[in-house]
Structure 1
Amino acid sequence: MKRLLLLVSFSLLLNASENLSLHQALEILKTQNLEIESAKIDESIAKEDEKSVSGIEYGTLNFIQDFAHSNDAGNVFGFTLSSREASFGNFGFSEFDGTNPNILNVQPKDLNYPDDRSYFQSKLKYEVPLFTGFALSNYKDIMSSMRRIKGLEKEQVINAKSYELRKSYYDMALLDDSIYNLNTIIENINTLEDMTKSMIEVGYAKHIDLLEVKAKKGNVKRLLLQMNANKKLLYHYVSFLLNQKVTAIVTPSSEIEMPILSDEEILKNNLDMQKASIALEIRKDMLELSNAAYYPTLGAFGELSTADDSFLGDADDHKAYTVGARLTWNIFNGGVDSAKIEKSKLEHIKMKSQLELARKGIALKLAKIRTEIISADEEIDSLKKELEFAEAIYKNYEGRYKEKLSSMSDVIIKQSAQIEKVLQLQIAKNRRNAKIFQLEKLANGEK
């Protein structure tokens, strides 16, 4: 009951989704995202496939119930014999009187034209493989590897959706940061607008100056509208990822810390590399599976049955058993098996080469991403200084305009430069965040 109440409370909390932190969102993602749920089901299916292969070694036990009704001579005689009810009369001895010297030439009517008969046979049959040339153990290893791959694919989906969710949160933080800067610019424009109106009243400014200020204000407001629209789209996407409506989140810092991960750690933990390694194991198992064709197979069986002209009639008296074994060995098949083995060897060699190629490809990608992150860091540092400088220049020109030392066009130009730096800084931070996310995706982490 306590657990149920906790679940209900948690569900209500999720539905409210007010000020949802990134940590809370990631926890919700793992239980509510539909793609992750689908990946979990695929993993469960693979587990059941593994169980189905493992169960073969225990053999099969079947109950077989036959019913037949016939007047065919062979069937009726077989039914009677199987029911342990055959008599000499079934062979035509009822027609033997001992006086006919040609008795051996007489066709027994009871045997050739018997009365119709019903036949019920109840049988329990157990079959078990004793030796399959190691094929069964190889199949088990292959299905186990397939299950492990599905588990890694599930982790990949979780990491991919976590990446998209975290990127959405950091994109929101960047938008909030840019909106804050643009709102500051709007406040400066409002101050400039009031100052221009005052200067027009005393004859120190022209009406065209006020129009320039209003035009720039409209341009900044348009940018704000676009950014707020992008925020709404991000909320829709976060809601889609979490499979529930989200209206407010707690944004993290707009800049992500550089993860401390060596190339060796990334290559070791990379899920694609792990999947490739398991695929190589599968190729090895398939090679061994091909070799199983050279071995004989041995199976055993046992059955217990009873038969009568009625269902389970005199079951104990009519019971019978059979036990046996069968050995099968393919001696020659035109070289098909040897060709399959050579094919498996070549595929195994090819997979090893592909694994090494993938490792080198990831190492190259890592070097490229690290270089791009360093470049983005330098660009962000430079743009921060440029933005600070642009803000100082704007303030300077605002004061110069007040003193009639520069025109309104000069002030607007400097303010445009300030806005441009705000947008450039947002783009640079977004590009840096994206590259760090790519690095974390290669490491399959959720830093």
Structure 2
Amino acid sequence: MKLATLLCATALSLGAATAQNGALALDEAIDLLKAQNLEIKAATYDVQSARERASQAGGQHWGSLDFIQNISRSDDAGNVFGFKLTGREANFGDFGAAEFMANSAACQGGDLTACDALYTQPPEALNYPGDRNFFQSKLQYTLPLYVGGKISAYVEAAEGMERLKRLDRTKLLNEKIYETRKAYYDMRLLDEALSNLKTIYDNIGTLEAMTQSMIQEGYAKQTDLLEVQAKKSNVARSIHQMEANEKLLYHYLSFLLDQPVSTIALPDSDVPLPPLETADVIAANIDVQRAKTGLQIRESMQDVALSDYLPMVGFQADVQTAADSFEHYAADKGSYTVGVQLKWNLFAGGSDYAAYEEARIETLKTKTQIDLAKKGIALQVDKIHTEIKSLDYEIDALSKELALAKEIYTSYEARYREQLASMSDVVIKQSQQLEKVLALLEVKNKRTERVFALEKLANGVTQ
């Protein structure tokens, strides 16, 4: 709760900009991203699919009820007799009773061959029956009573996979939110830099007009004007590049939000550094959560491997009716079967032991990976904090240097007007001012990227 409150407060401060004159505010853009981004939609489908797989695994607890319809025709002696027996239609004639009685009468009349045939001659009716149809309708229910905890372990593993998919979706969502916020703050930095460049451009325009006037009065040379115009062209090129980058950012925002974006409400300030402790970052980090979920899945699979040592008990019940055609189905031809089976594998060549050992080793490996991930994240947090402190120092220094460069340029412009400095000197000072603007933009952009990198480690600021 402490981390959630902290991150929400940070999110509110970052998304404070509201839509003005139709401009899309950051918080509105994030809402659109969640609702419309196609990658997030695909990840949502993955979560739903994993949820259904978990439901499939849980359904095994309830067994299965099957309706089986057999339709056969055969002249095989065993099949034909079995068909009749299943349909409760077998009679002594099927055993060759007619042949037996004929031989019995002949035997009583003194025919010794007939006497011998009574018990040694295979009955023709039993061994060579005519072909017969068989229609059987069966309702069968099977239920696993005890399987050593295997089904429960599979259910836990499937639920773990669902949690992994949820974490994957959250990670993707955080990544897209990061990209959206980064675009907004990049746009703000570009706007700030463009404002400075346009001021420089306007100053050079003023200098150009002044130089032209001084040439007419004989106080400046044509080369001075060419130097000013070349510098003006250089600044115009930088402005054009930044405006092109603005257009690219708008194109990218349109892609992320899956709708056209032409204007946005810029954030009021640079992105602040959230006061996140290393322990909070580790606890919230999605990769650590994924690793912990993976450990739970490994432990479930270890339970699955252990269940191979235990017996399995199953229940089965069925009811059926059969005849030589559907029309001959009758209540008195029905039958039922109820039973319980115990199956216990006593020897499998050591494969069950090897499977259990493999699962146990993978569990130990996952635990080690979790510890490694935590230490790696702690290292990243320390590294990012150090980099941000260094960048903050650079920004402060460059801001002061830019302010000084502006004053120096203004001073040299005045000195040039009084012919106390050359146009080359003025252009050089103007170039130094431009360099400071671009350098400050680059360092601020690096700082923004590092702050967002810290937030990404902490599972974003919108959760």
> Same fold by TM-score, threshold 0.5 exceeded?
yes
Tell me the distance in 2 between the aligned counterparts of 1:312 and 1:200.
Answer: 118
Q: Which runs of 4+ in 1 moved over 6 A?
A: none
Which one of the candidate residues 83, 89, 93 is aligned to 1:85?
89
Partner letter of residue 22 of structure 1? L
CA drift at 1:133 = 0.7
Partner letter of residue 339 of structure 1? A
Output the aligned Cα RMSD: 1.4
Which one of the candidate residues 331, 339, 349 is aligned to 2:354?
339
Q: Deviations over 1:254-285 (max 9, x none)?
A: 51011121111111111111111111122222
Count residues with an aligned counterpart.
431
What residue is the counterpart of 1:444 in the other structure? 459
Is the aligned partner of 1:352 residue 2:356?
Answer: no
What residue is the counterpart of 1:383 in the other structure? 398
What residue is the counterpart of 1:61 in the other structure? 65
Tell me the distance in 2 between the aligned counterparts of 1:301 and 1:198.
Answer: 106
CA drift at 1:107 = 3.5
Is the aligned partner of 1:37 residue 2:41?
Answer: yes
CA drift at 1:18 = 4.7
What residue is the counterpart of 1:257 in the other structure? 272
Determine helix, strand or coil for the equivalent of 1:302: strand
Determine helix, strand or coil for the equivalent of 2:137: strand
Partner letter of residue 125 of structure 2? D
Which one of the candidate residues 139, 152, 158 is aligned to 1:137?
152
Partner letter of residue 185 of structure 2? Y
Q: Deviations over 1:372-394 (max 9, x none)?
A: 00011110011111100000000
Is the aligned partner of 1:99 residue 2:105?
Answer: yes
CA drift at 1:340 = 2.1
Which one of the candidate residues 15, 20, 27 is aligned to 1:23?
27
Partner letter of residue 279 of structure 1? G
Tell me the distance in 1 between the aligned counterparts of 2:362 and 2:183.
Answer: 42
Contact 1:304 1:320 in 2 (8 A): yes
Contact 1:290 1:341 in 2 (8 A): yes
Is the aligned partner of 1:205 residue 2:209?
Answer: no
CA drift at 1:314 = 2.8
Contact 1:306 1:312 in 2 (8 A): no
Contact 1:162 1:446 in 2 (8 A): no
Partner letter of residue 63 of structure 1? F
Is the aligned partner of 1:127 residue 2:131?
Answer: no
Which one of the candidate residues 344, 366, 374 is aligned to 1:329?
344
Contact 1:120 1:312 in 2 (8 A): no
Partner letter of residue 297 of structure 2? I
Is the aligned partner of 1:279 residue 2:294?
Answer: yes
What residue is the counterpart of 2:77 in the other structure? 73
Tell me the distance in 1 between the aligned counterparts of 2:85 and 2:350.
Answer: 46
What residue is the counterpart of 2:414 in the other structure? 399
TM-score normalized with structure 2 length: 0.91
Q: Deviations over 1:12-47 (max 9, x none)?
A: xxxxx9511111111111111111111111111110
What residue is the counterpart of 2:429 in the other structure? 414
Where structure 1 has 5 or more consecutive residues not aligned to the other structure, the ranges are 1-16
Determine helix, strand or coil for the equivalent of 1:51: helix
Is the aligned partner of 1:231 residue 2:246?
Answer: yes
Contact 1:174 1:254 in 2 (8 A): no
What residue is the counterpart of 1:13 in the other structure? none
Contact 1:29 1:242 in 2 (8 A): yes
CA drift at 1:144 = 1.0
CA drift at 1:428 = 0.6
Determine helix, strand or coil for the equivalent of 1:253: coil
CA drift at 1:152 = 0.6
Partner letter of residue 79 of structure 1? F
TM-score normalized with structure 1 length: 0.94
Contact 1:129 1:298 in 2 (8 A): yes
